[in-house]
């Protein structure tokens, strides 16, 4: 199946390139999501004969989005909606990646796809608007919400812990934010599986969740990262209130992924195996 991937340099797009190098990747220089009309113009010539479009691009700077919400809304909502509309007109399935940040993080139960969103920050608001725009486009689609994506490269949580831990005997990490770290490689596999399934069965259109297991706190994840990297840095548990950030984070980011397993046969990936793979690849780089 011929695939179009929106994005090239992000961690999900790079993981997709490793799994599906034959796909056509449209990076920012090809399809700048800060300009919806330009993004559509870049996508349209490739839709003829395409099997699916996977949108792997987004404005993901959560704290910066508080000051740049208009830009984040353009990238995360207006452009995905515009691209989903032309994909729908061409009869091409559209897979859109979203986030746990569409929820407010209250309670202890894992969030289900049908639960009412209530984002706490600008990033979550723009991603929710993107979901709504993709669904409103009227085509075959899947919105795949995920959480805490990592690859060990760049500015993700794994990379941050390795960088900070290298020069400090102790790190203070929040212990009351709970979620499922998701390896970028597994998320890429899920996107491909969903895209191919939609091409076979359009009735699978809908909103789904896909996140790593087991659920763990940020502090617990930090300990696992540092231990797997053979670093002796100690982690001190702190509450979120002791680490204020411009954007408020949800405390409960756990996602119920059972409907995704039922529809696509995708079990939640074990992030511990993904962490080992990410560190191995980082060491080989």
**CATH number, domain with residue 56:** 3.40.50.720
| The pLDDT value given to residue 285 | 44
pLDDT at 168: 87
Cβ neighbors of 180 (< 8 A, separation 6 or more) are: 147, 148, 211, 212, 213, 214, 215, 216, 253, 254, 255, 268, 271
- Number of domains the chain contains: 1
Residues with a catalytic annotation lie at 123
Residue range of the domain that includes 226: 3-284
d(CA 90, CA 141): 13
**What is the Cα–Cα distance from 47 to 27, expressed in whole angstroms?**
16
User: Using H for helix, E for strand and C for coil, what is the string for the chain?
Assistant: CCEEEECCCCHHHHHHHHHCCCCEEECCCCCCCCCHHHHHHHHHHHCCCCCEEEECCCCCCCCHHHCCHHHHHHHHHHHHHHHHHHHHHHCCCEEEEEEHHHCCCCCCCCECCCCCCCCCCHHHHHHHHHHHHHHHCCCCEEEEEECCEECCCCCCHHHHHHHHHCCCCEEEEECCCEECCEEHHHHHHHHHHHHHHHHHCHHHCEEEECCCECCEEHHHHHHHHHHHCCCCCEEEEECHHHCCCCCCCCCECCECCHHHHHHHCCCCCEHHHHHHHHHHHHHHC
pTM, 2 dp = 0.94
Task: Answer yes or no: are the C-beta atoms of 188 and 226 closer than 8 Å.
Answer: no
**Of 54, 57, 91, nearest in space to 74 by CA:** 57
Q: Which residues contact 66 (CB under 8 A, 6 or more apart)?
A: 121, 122, 246, 247
Structure tokens at 151: 């690859």
- How high is the pLDDT of residue 283? 55
If we measure between CA atoms, which residue out of 84, 62, 81, 248 comes closest to residue 155? Answer: 62
Peptide bond into 214 cis (omega under 30): yes
pLDDT at 284: 42
Task: Look at residue 281 in the predicted model and tell me its pLDDT.
Answer: 79
Q: What is the pLDDT along the chain (285 residues), one digit of tens a residue?
A: 699 999 998 999 999 999 999 999 998 888 899 999 999 999 999 999 899 999 999 999 999 999 999 999 999 999 999 999 999 999 999 999 999 999 999 999 999 999 999 999 999 999 999 999 999 999 999 999 999 999 987 779 999 999 999 888 999 999 999 999 999 999 999 999 999 999 999 999 999 999 999 999 999 999 999 999 999 899 999 999 999 999 999 999 999 999 999 999 999 999 999 999 989 876 544
- Chain CA centroid to CA 180, Å: 12
The per-residue pLDDT for 1 is: 67
């Amino acid at each position: 199946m011929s695939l179009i991937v929106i994005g090239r340099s992000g961690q999900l797009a790079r993981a997709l390139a490793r799994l599906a190098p034959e796909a056509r990747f449209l990076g920012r220089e090809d399809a700048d999501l800060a300009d919806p009309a330009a993004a559509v113009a870049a996508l349209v010539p490739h839709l003829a004969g395409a099997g699916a479009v996977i949108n792997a691009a987004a404005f993901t700077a959560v704290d910066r989005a508080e000051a740049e919400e208009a830009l984040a809304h353009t990238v995360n909502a207006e452009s995905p909606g515009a691209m989903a509309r032309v994909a729908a007109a061409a009869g091409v399935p559209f897979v859109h990646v979203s986030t746990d940040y569409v929820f407010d993080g209250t309670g202890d139960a894992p969030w289900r796809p049908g639960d009412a969103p209530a984002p706490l920050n600008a990033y979550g608001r723009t991603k929710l608007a993107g979901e709504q725009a993709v669904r409103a486009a009227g085509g075959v689609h899947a919105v795949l919400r995920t959480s805490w994506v990592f690859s060990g490269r760049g500015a993700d949580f794994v990379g941050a812990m390795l960088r900070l831990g290298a020069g400090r005997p102790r790190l203070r990490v929040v212990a009351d934010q709970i979620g499922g770290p998701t390896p970028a490689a597994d998320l890429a596999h899920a996107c491909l599986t969903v895209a191919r399934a939609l091409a076979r069965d359009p009735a699978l259109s809908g909103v789904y969740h896909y996140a790593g297991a087991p659920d763990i706190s940020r502090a617990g994840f930090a300990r696992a990262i540092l231990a797997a990297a053979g670093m002796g840095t100690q982690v001190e548990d702190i509450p979120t209130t002791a680490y204020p950030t411009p954007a408020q984070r949800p405390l409960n980011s756990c996602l119920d992924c059972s409907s995704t397993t039922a529809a696509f046969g995708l079990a939640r990936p074990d992030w511990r195996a993904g962490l080992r793979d990410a560190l191995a690849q980082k060491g080989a780089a």
